[in-house]
A and B are shown apart, each in its own frame.
Chain A
Amino acid sequence: MRTRRYLEGTRPGWTVGAAVLLLLLLLPAALPVAQLTLPTDVFVFALFALTYDLIFGFAGLISFGHALFIGFGGYALAAAMTNYGMPLWPALGVVLLVGIAVSAVTGVLALRTRGVYFAMVTLAFAQAAFYLAESNIGNLTNGENGLSVNGAPEWLVGPTSGLHFYYVALASLVAVFLLLRVFVRSPAGRVWQAVRENEHRAQMIGYNPFAFKLLAYVISGTIATLAGALYALYVGTVSTSLFSADTTIRLLLMVIIGGTGSLWGAMLGAAIVRYLDHYLTVLANAGWINNLPNWLHQTIGQPLLLFGIIYLLLIYFFPQGIAGLVQRLQPVRSAEPAPGLAQLEAEAAATGTDSLEPSGGDTTIAPVNPPTRG
């Protein structure tokens, strides 16, 4: 059956995945509702990370502005429900439309650039959104104070909402994961891979790289926007920090820990980062922390500092992430459309110029520059 072929992967992989899913489904039976907040948070962030992996890992687009979608999703929902009093489902409809619109518009603009320029433009868009939100444009965003999400249905805000949210988030995550997985391994997904690896060649064969990149960008952005709305619903408020670079750094960290382009790696990365975030905060408040040497105390007290250090270490020593390590342990793999960071690197270098450029090795020093001028 075609779908099964598209799911592919290895038997052990799916077995582990199924086991984990079973565990997660049964978890609420073992834990009090209050302790479900962290896993729920992880599910939502895993959702963010999946969408980020899609553009970064699969489409090879270096986006520094993914927070744009998350923020838009949150604010759109909050504005629709709080400012305009819409009920949940129509509001979600609005969010969907906003997601498509924002990703399409920014995508069409940003995708006319590549590489570093693309990173700059996406960063600029996210920053613009940040400033717009902060300035309370059109009286929609309430500036620095943020907006609360009012009018959510009872089953999502009442006493048992924790449990409901847990399953809603988990279901969304699984659905999106399967959707993306099938998509990536479908014929359309393989064209993506070809376009990413060698745009020039793909164009010669007759594909339109721009259209494919835009498609990836819009799908990723739309789902991320919806996920942002989910997050807003869950937390109950939105603030300008949704648009911040902190969010982007966390996403980058998640896909790099997990390994770009493996989807499940992004989810694992999300879990690791969010757990670290949580436990570092707990640790920072513990009494015995004060007895540690100052620098250690300081680092634990500032999760972002620790994240930054881990992030840097990973890029130098483990650019493949966990998924990369796992991949190396498995003897036989089917044609893998998911590239690690190193492969993205090589592809980026290869598309940099037509002439033969130096590759690899520490002894040559020429960087891969913007191509020769004139």
Chain B
Amino acid sequence: MTALRAASGVSVAGSRSSLLALADVHTYIAGSHILQGVSLDVTEGETTVLLGRNGAGKSTTLRTIMGILPPARGSITLGEVKLDGKPPYFVARQGIGFVPEDRDVFVSLTVEENLKLAQRAGVSRGAAGIEHVYSLFSDLRVARGRSAGAMSGGQQQMLAIARAMVNRNRVILIDEPTKGLAPVIVQELQSIFRSLRDEGETILLVEQNLEFAQAVGHRFFVLDEGRIVHGGPMDELARDSELLRRYIGV
């Protein structure tokens, strides 16, 4: 099994460069050692999937990158810029969009207000960006004046993703978008991810739904008990059932 040479700036997958890199990141939550030396890199223009069992530390990894949790050790870099130890707004301003596990849309704001709030000066796609988002997510256009709290889970998930797209982001972190969604919505999400891929977006995706992950991802990493234990191109995953069983419990 090929172990991945992480954080060296050299991607295993080929000529594309590594955009976001984590090197030996440790994170504690209330005394528990959750991330025990995570090293991975996200290739530009690709969708990298982070897999693993419940409790392995996948969400924690995204939140650490985002600055919501401070890393105790290790480094996180976006290109040349050091991200570790910085507050979330700094990380976001470097061009990292975040779609959290609980979606965290603002329920007391309307759909449109949620999108407008997300727009960042300088990198915003402006009114065109919002239009583009509405063209991808027609449900949102219909509900634009309605409070985000009145929408279904699937619609809120759309909004959360849409929110990350109103700016020109360099990387988008997405945490379990298919969780709790009906299969038909998951299908919709899949096509959205495909159009994101076509637009060359760089995505780090945490996902439990293996089928979804395989459909949208280029590469994968497996996180087990706070460490990266494996990584490679996505098609390798289908071939290796031993891997699937051991680390993902399938």
Contact = CB atoms under 8 A, between A and B. Distances in A.
Interface of A: 346, 350, 355-356, 358-361, 363-366, 372-374
B136 to A, nearest CB: 25
Interface of B: 28-30, 59-60, 63, 67-70, 85-89, 102, 104, 107, 149
Given A358-B69, A358-B70, A364-B69, 10 more contacts: A350-B30, A356-B29, A359-B29, A359-B69, A360-B70, A364-B68, A365-B87, A366-B88, A372-B104, A374-B149
A358 B88 CA distance: 12
A373 B69 contact: no
Contacts of B89: 365
A364 B102 contact: no
A363 B104 contact: no
B88 A372 contact: no
Given A350-B30, A359-B30, A364 B107 contact: no
A346 B89 CA distance: 25
B107 A373 contact: yes
Is chain B's interface secondary structure helix, strand, loop, or mixed overall?
loop
Nearest to B66: A364
Contacts of A355: 102
Nearest to B34: A356
Nearest to B69: A358
A94 B29 CA distance: 51
Nearest to B60: A356
Nearest 10 pairs of A and B residues by beta carbon: A361-B70, A374-B107, A363-B85, A365-B87, A363-B70, A359-B30, A363-B87, A364-B70, A356-B29, A350-B30
A346 B30 contact: yes
Nearest to A359: B30
B102 A366 contact: no
A361 B63 CA distance: 14
Contacts of A363: 67, 70, 85-87
Contacts of A359: 28-30, 69
A373 B148 CA distance: 13
A184 to B, nearest CB: 24
Contacts of B29: 356, 359
A359 B86 CA distance: 14
Contact of A364 (B30, B60, B87, B104): B87
B107 A365 contact: no
Contacts of A356: 29, 59-60, 63, 69
Nearest to A360: B70
5 contacts: A361-B70, A363-B70, A365-B89, A366-B68, A374-B149
A361 B28 CA distance: 11
Contacts of B107: 373-374
A63 to B, nearest CB: 26
A372 B87 contact: no
B68 A358 contact: yes
A86 B105 CA distance: 66
Contacts of B104: 372
A372 B70 CA distance: 21
B149 A365 contact: no
Contacts of B88: 364-366
Nearest to A346: B30
Contacts of B30: 346, 350, 359
Contacts of A374: 107, 149
A361 B64 CA distance: 12
Nearest to B105: A374
A372 B102 contact: yes
B173 to A, nearest CB: 16
A373 B68 CA distance: 19
Contacts of A364: 67-70, 87-88
A364 B85 CA distance: 8
Contacts of B149: 374
Contacts of B87: 363-365
Nearest to B29: A356
B68 to A, nearest CB: 6
Contacts of B86: 363
A263 to B, nearest CB: 26
A350 B29 CA distance: 10
A228 B67 CA distance: 51
A352 to B, nearest CB: 11
Contacts of A365: 87-89
A240 B41 CA distance: 68
Nearest to A374: B107
A373 B102 CA distance: 12
Contacts of A372: 102, 104
Contacts of A358: 68-70
